[in-house]
Amino acid sequence: MFKKMPGDEPHRIVSTTPDTAVVFKPAVVQTPAIITLIVFAWRAMVSLVRTVWRHPVAALVAVTPCVLTVLYGWRVTLIVATIVLVGLTGWGLLDRPSFAALVGRRLLAWWRLVWVYRRHWQPVMIVSGLGKHIRGRDYLPKLGTVTCTSWADIVTVRMLNGQAVKDWADRTDNLARGFSAESCRVAVIKGGRLRLTFPRRDPLATPLPALPLPEAASVGPVEIGKQEDGSPWRLKVHGTHVLVAGATGAGKGSILWSTIRGLLPAMRAGLVELWALDPKLMELSYGRALFGSRYAADPGDCADLLDDAVKVMQARAARFAGHQRNHTPTIEDPFVLIIVDEVAFLTAYQPDKQLRHRISAALATLTTQGRAVGIGVMAALQDPRKEVMNIRNLFPDKIALRLDESEQVDMVLGDGARDRGALADHISPVPELGAGVGYVRLETSPDPVRVRAAYVSDEDIRAMVAEFGGETR
């Protein structure tokens, strides 16, 4: 209720209702300046110790000239610096690998930590949504160490409490662009810590020639190419099944023929049998003499060959039962690798429905029961959709070469593979750049590995047939 008070201005109104609103003011705690200085000094000391511990070479390079200048003057510092620079230059010219490993990459890691990652960390985290700006304060994931290899930066990160790996996997494009890299891959270390890989160059850009034939007979793992870190790519074929998926011209033949090439000495020794199904009559037929009677192209013959493999598997299982659980290749019981080129033609596109079901049933039986008794399946296909290849989940190890769509990557390698950096849909369609390049996801690891298979030319296959063609058992 309001009324006009005597003596007041004509338009002034005063409330006569009691005011029950209470205004609370937050208590302001004044921190003594000495405590603030102590906290800042402690943080600076911890940061300095951490920097020296992580980057001893860079710290030594920065501190030594200053100490020499104070103790002995700038002339002595100049002389010592000249001697050191000449020595390092000579070391780098004479033994580049050791210089890069012990000095060069450490200095590069320190420089990229300071100039690239620490400098842009706050804006990249906030813009990408991985960090939060709340009431004037930034909550950021903790940047850890930076390690430089010959081709990439390896960055360790501690996630914020409440974050999930998927939050980072969904923002790999943001991270790559934020730190001026071509791509970014996310891998889990442990306990809320991640490993981010930022490639600086592509070590797999150059095609690889066919690898030399192994000197010793072995069932694997078979060296068929190179991994992105420069180490050999050794593909396990004994004790597993392998699915290879890729668009036309992606390089599936490179993987098939490199695997065959690596097993030829073992085939000569009687420890391996290679069975080939070639419904397209284009890929495996070029080396048909290597397979002898265990080659089939007609769908009916392919079904018969698969039925024979099932019989071999069942006979071995009956003999091994109660005696052994794992297969060891011998001349009596060699490792049998069944290679199927364009398996979808047999399991999905075959017009004879009865024959299609027969082939699918045989493949399902072999992939579920075969590896324990020494029978493996390596199948290649172009279309990885479920309705085309309904037994793809029965292959423990999978390889994705160039694919047409991003959704196909997870179809082949499993859910989340593309978010972890398996960008198979970004592989170049130019044969010289992308043929044979792909991502491998093994049964023992969820993280995809980028690889490139060696190219086995027609001349290489003819030489293989000439040397090993008459030795099929």
For residues 150 and 243, what is the distance between their CA atoms, to the nearest angstrom? 30
Q: Which helix (H) or strand (E) holds 312?
A: helix 299-320
Strand locations in 83-221, DSSP E?
Answer: 132-134, 137-139, 142-148, 152-158, 185-190, 193-199
Burial (CB count within 10 angstroms: exposed 0-12, middle 13-18, buried 19+), residue 236? middle
For residues 385 and 404, what is the distance between their CA atoms, to the nearest angstrom? 12
For residues 450 and 399, what is the distance between their CA atoms, to the nearest angstrom? 10
Among 260, 285, 191, 245, smallest CA distance to 425 is for 245
């300071």: which residue's tokens? 114
pLDDT tens, the chain, 473 aa long: 445 545 555 555 445 555 555 555 656 667 788 888 888 888 888 877 877 776 676 677 778 888 888 888 888 888 888 888 888 888 888 887 888 787 888 889 989 998 999 999 999 999 999 998 887 788 899 999 999 998 999 999 999 998 988 899 889 889 999 999 988 888 888 878 999 999 998 899 999 999 999 988 998 799 999 999 889 999 999 999 999 999 999 999 999 999 999 999 999 999 999 999 999 888 899 889 999 899 999 999 999 999 999 999 999 999 988 888 888 999 999 999 999 998 988 888 888 889 999 999 999 999 999 999 999 999 999 888 766 677 888 999 999 999 999 889 999 998 888 877 888 998 989 888 889 999 999 887 778 999 999 999 999 999 999 998 866 55
Residue type, 364: A
Using DSSP's 3-state secondary structure scheme, residue 418 falls into: coil
Return the structure tokens found at 270: 């009687």
CATH number of 119-201: 3.30.980.40
How long is the chain? 473
Domain residue limits, the chain: 119-201, 222-468
Say if CB 408 and CB 245 are below 8 A apart.
yes
Among 324, 346, 341, smallest CA distance to 377 is for 341
- The dihedrals phi and psi of 334, each to the nearest 5 degrees, come to -70, 160
**CATH for 222-468, among 3.40.50.300, 3.40.50.20, 3.40.50.720, 3.30.70.141?**
3.40.50.300
For residues 410 and 424, what is the distance between their CA atoms, to the nearest angstrom? 10
Residue type, 428: S
CA 451 to chain CA mean position, Å? 9
pTM over 0.85: no
